[in-house]
Amino acid sequence: MSDRLDINYVYDILGLKPGASVNEVKQAYRQMAKTWHPDCFLEPQQKLEAEEKIKEIN
Q: Is residue 1 one of the residues assigned to a domain?
A: no
CATH number for the domain including 52? 1.10.287.110
Q: Is residue 26 one of the residues assigned to a domain?
A: yes
Q: What does the pLDDT read at residue 31?
A: 96
Q: Is residue 14 one of the residues assigned to a domain?
A: yes
User: How distant is the alpha carbon of residue 31 from its chain centre?
Assistant: 9
CB 14 within 8 A of CB 30: no
Q: Is residue 2 one of the residues assigned to a domain?
A: no
Q: Is residue 24 one of the residues assigned to a domain?
A: yes
Global pTM value: 0.78
Per the structure, how many domains does the chain have?
1
What pLDDT tens digit does each residue of the chain (58 aa) get?
Answer: 444 568 888 899 999 999 999 999 999 999 999 999 999 999 999 999 999 999 999 9
Q: What does the pLDDT read at residue 4?
A: 53
Q: Is residue 39 one of the residues assigned to a domain?
A: yes
| Alpha carbons 18 and 54: distance in angstroms, whole number | 21
| Alpha carbons 37 and 43: distance in angstroms, whole number | 13
Q: Which long-range contacts (CB under 8 A, 24 or more apart) does 25-31 make?
A: 29/57
Q: What is the residue range of 47's domain?
A: 7-57
